[in-house]
């Protein structure tokens, strides 16, 4: 089932997600619905907080063929490089806005899969950036918070204006 994606500056995007206490059918279904929503929106990652679920679940697929989904429950960055890279990011909650954000170029993330089994992902490139971006969402952060106050305010104004205009069209 496709879910509604919250749009910045919705205050619910700044909530901190709670750990998943039990990986069960409800969480597996949430992950499936999040993947469907992410693919439908042409995204490469989605955090549960973006669909107004305050639990620590993210889905990611950076493959060209869009057939390598990763589901991470209670993900934690356990190691990272000391090297930072600048990478252009976008976000399904900040539609049509892209800007450079500084991230570690390599991360190791530990999480649970849909069956509740522990696993580790070591990633660089786009996958590393995406994992950091989505884990930020779980901690109540949107990528625009890394930008200057001026840029952030312009984005906020633009998206609020767009929301008002779309509201009038309905």
95-146 confidence digits (pLDDT tens): 999 999 999 999 999 999 999 999 999 999 999 999 999 999 999 999 999 9
Alpha carbon distance 56, 146 (integer Å): 21
Q: What is the pLDDT of residue 169?
A: 66
Identify whether 5 is part of a domain: no
Q: What is the pLDDT of residue 166?
A: 83
Domain membership of residue 32 as a residue range? 11-169
Is there a binding annotation on residue 91? yes
Q: How many CB atoms lie within 10 A of CB 1?
A: 8
pLDDT over threshold 70, residue 170:
no
Q: Is 27 left (phi over 0), alpha (psi -120 to 50) or beta?
A: alpha
Segment 17-35 shows an average pLDDT of 98
CB 126 within 8 A of CB 44: yes
Identify whether 150 is part of a domain: yes
Which one of 68, 89, 134, 165 is the catalytic residue? 134
- Number of domains present in the structure of the chain: 1
pLDDT over threshold 90, residue 167:
no
Q: Which residue has the tokens 């919250």?
A: 6
CATH number for 28: 3.90.45.10
Q: What is the pLDDT of residue 67?
A: 96
Q: What is the pLDDT of residue 163?
A: 87
∠ CA(88), CA(157), CA(136), 5° rounding?
A: 40
38-72 confidence digits (pLDDT tens): 999 999 999 999 999 999 999 999 999 999 999 99
Q: What is the pLDDT of residue 140?
A: 98
Respond yes or no: is residue 122 known to be catalytic: no
């Amino acid at each position: 089932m496709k879910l509604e994606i919250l749009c910045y500056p919705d205050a619910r995007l700044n909530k901190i997600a709670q750990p998943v206490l039990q990986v069960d059918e409800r969480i597996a279904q949430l992950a499936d619905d999040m993947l469907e929503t992410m693919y439908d929106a042409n995204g490469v990652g989605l955090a549960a907080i973006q669909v107004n679920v305050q639990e620590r679940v993210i889905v990611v697929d950076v493959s060209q063929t869009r057939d390598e989904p990763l589901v991470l429950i209670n993900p934690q960055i356990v190691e990272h490089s000391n090297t930072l890279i600048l990478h252009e990011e976008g976000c399904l909650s900040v539609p049509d806005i892209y800007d450079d954000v500084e991230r570690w170029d390599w991360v190791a993330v530990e999480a649970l899969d849909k069956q509740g089994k522990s696993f580790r992902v070591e990633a660089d490139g786009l996958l590393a950036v995406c994992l950091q971006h989505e884990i930020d969402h779980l901690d109540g952060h949107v990528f625009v918070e890394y930008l200057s106050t001026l840029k952030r305010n312009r984005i906020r104004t633009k998206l609020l204006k767009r929301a008002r205009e779309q509201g009038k069209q309905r």
